């Protein structure tokens, strides 16, 4: 994402229009190349961040588009690895230096005829205890401050990749200020739906899905509709967005709270935004990984576990994509893991599953959320509470209670 001051967009007739770079003008491409050279030199020669920032300011000041230049630099900085380089932990060195300084009656700024010790004398003595010279101790004293961090390596980007990453970051920054986002997918594959829903779950977004005449609609709550963790949720929504770019036909419409009020933001597959990196699908959360690992260790007798591949259509009202399908003989049950849903969303989901005869689905939710639904420690039917991990014995009990033959579902 880009910091809000670096977001270039204007509002026309209630619609927010970001200033996309696209392929970029000759001047923009020249600035992008210059910035890439700055960070490449920084990683090659181990420049401090303060030195890199000074070089970036020089490039930006020499260009007509200072905000664009600073935005491009922000993108490169995000893919640059910085480290605090010091022969000893700076915090330990500071503590020793300050302790030694306090033991002195007073310190002179410069050497005097009266023989008063200076800060350099203290660093010389303290540095010697760490095997350092005064100069080395001085350089290491604040090496852990961000401005003193050293560039170690930066991602290998070319100008086109940098401009593309800028436009994606621009869209992410707008979505981070949204109240709601509606995503429409045209004739998506099951694999694509599954990947997107798993991404939404992985980033702990509040979402619902439903079928449309031409595909699927995904409704996402924006960060400004959440009463708590607004910044964290906005970042999660922004991180989800690039996974949408791998779809072939998509459109996103957001209700955004902007500087001028509530505006509409639209972006689709024809905007020209490109994903960076391969389409690797959604990562599994720790809860999913722990469940698969524990299941493989225990191998419950008579039960098999597989990742679900087909969504469940709840009468056209909503789409459910279970995480796993469990089979025992001629009976099967499904598990959907949702740790951060709202209580009312879980209650509605349970009612819809029951009404559409899909009560073979178990919803795994956080123990705290389960207690909010019932007001007691006893979970409602069809709900499996869990803490950090899902307990296999409790899961088997729930699965055995809801598993049904295919014809009865």
Residue whose structure tokens are 């003989």:
329
**Does position 34 have pLDDT exceeding 60, yes or no?**
yes
**Does position 225 have pLDDT exceeding 60, yes or no?**
no
**Does position 229 have pLDDT exceeding 50, yes or no?**
no
CA distances from 321 to 192, 247, 365, 391 (A): 11, 17, 15, 22
CATH of the domain at 229: 3.30.70
Region 333-339 average pLDDT:
83
Domain check: are 258 and 307 in the same one? Answer: no
pLDDT per residue over 135-156, tens digit each?
899 889 999 999 999 999 999 9
pLDDT per residue over 158-198, tens digit each?
999 999 999 999 999 999 888 889 999 887 765 677 788 77
Average the pLDDT over each of 53-62, 104-113, 383-392 and give the range with the smallest value: 104-113
pTM of the model: 0.69
Domain check: are 334 and 257 in the same one? Answer: no
pLDDT confidence of residue 195: 80
Domain check: are 290 and 197 in the same one? Answer: no
Q: How far is residue 201 CA from its own chain's centroid? A: 12
Count of CB atoms within 10 A of residue 347's CB? Answer: 15
Please list the residues that pair with 334 across neighbouring strands: 325, 361
Given pLDDT bands bounded at 50, 70 and 90, which one contains residue 271?
very high
pLDDT confidence of residue 227: 45
Domain check: are 186 and 121 in the same one? Answer: no
Range of the domain at 397: 286-404
Tell me if 334 sits within 8 A of 326, measured CB to CB: yes
* DSSP-derived secondary structure for 32-49: HHHHHHHHHHHHHHT-BH
Given pLDDT bands bounded at 50, 70 and 90, which one contains residue 304?
very high
Asked if residue 164 belongs to a domain, the reply is no
Domain check: are 253 and 292 in the same one? Answer: no
**Does position 290 have pLDDT exceeding 80, yes or no?**
yes
pLDDT per residue over 89-136, tens digit each?
999 999 999 999 888 877 777 776 566 778 888 888 999 999 999 889
Given pLDDT bands bounded at 50, 70 and 90, which one contains residue 203?
confident
CA distances from 261 to 154, 220, 226, 310 (A): 38, 20, 18, 40
Within 8 A by CB and 6+ apart from 25, the residues are: none
**Does position 40 have pLDDT exceeding 90, yes or no?**
yes
Q: What angle do CA 402, 403, 404 make, to 5 degrees?
A: 115
Count of domains for the chain: 3
Asked if residue 48 belongs to a domain, the reply is no
Domain check: are 375 and 355 in the same one? Answer: yes
b or e along 59-90 (b: 16 or more beta carbons within 10 Å of the residue's beta carbon)?
bbeebebeebbbbbbbbbbeebebeeebebeb
């Amino acid at each position: 994402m880009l910091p809000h001051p670096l977001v270039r967009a204007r509002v026309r007739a209630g619609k927010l229009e970001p200033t996309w770079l696209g392929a970029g003008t000759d001047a923009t491409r020249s600035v992008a190349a210059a910035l890439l050279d700055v960070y490449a030199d920084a990683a090659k020669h181990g420049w401090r961040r303060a030195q890199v920032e000074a070089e970036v300011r020089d490039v930006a000041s020499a260009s007509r588009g200072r905000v664009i230049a600073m935005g491009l630099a922000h993108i490169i900085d995000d893919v640059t690895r910085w480290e605090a380089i010091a022969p000893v932990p700076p915090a330990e060195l500071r503590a020793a230096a300050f302790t030694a300084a306090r033991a002195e009656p007073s310190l002179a700024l410069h050497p005097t005829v009266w023989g008063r010790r200076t800060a350099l004398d203290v660093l010389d003595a303290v540095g010697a205890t760490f095997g350092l010279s005064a100069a080395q101790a001085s350089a290491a004293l604040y090496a852990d401050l961000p401005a003193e961090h050293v560039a170690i390596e930066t991602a290998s980007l070319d100008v086109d990749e940098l401009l593309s990453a800028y436009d994606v970051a621009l869209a992410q920054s707008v979505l981070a200020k949204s109240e709601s986002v509606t995503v429409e997918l045209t004739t998506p594959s099951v694999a694509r739906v599954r990947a997107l829903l798993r991404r939404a779950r992985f980033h702990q977004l509040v979402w619902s899905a439903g079928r449309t005449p031409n595909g699927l609609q995904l409704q996402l709550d924006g960060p400004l509709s959440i009463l708590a963790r607004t910044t964290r949720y906005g970042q999660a929504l922004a991180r989800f967005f690039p996974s949408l770019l791998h779809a072939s036909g998509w459109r996103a419409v957001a209700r955004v709270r902007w500087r001028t009020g509530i505006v509409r933001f639209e972006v689709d597959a024809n905007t020209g935004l490109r994903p960076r990196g391969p389409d690797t699908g959604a990562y599994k959360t720790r809860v999913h990984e722990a469940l698969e690992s524990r299941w493989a260790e225990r191998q419950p007798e008579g039960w098999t576990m597989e990742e679900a591949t087909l969504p469940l259509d709840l009468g056209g009202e909503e789409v459910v994509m279970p995480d796993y399908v469990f089979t025992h003989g001629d009976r099967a049950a499904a598990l959907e893991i949702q740790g951060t849903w709202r209580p009312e969303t879980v209650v509605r989901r349970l009612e819809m599953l029951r009404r559409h005869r899909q009560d073979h689905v178990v919803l795994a939710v956080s123990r705290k959320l389960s207690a909010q639904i019932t007001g007691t420690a006893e979970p409602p039917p069809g709900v499996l509470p869990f803490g950090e991990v899902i307990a296999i014995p409790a899961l088997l009990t729930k699965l055995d209670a809801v598993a049904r033959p295919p014809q009865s579902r």
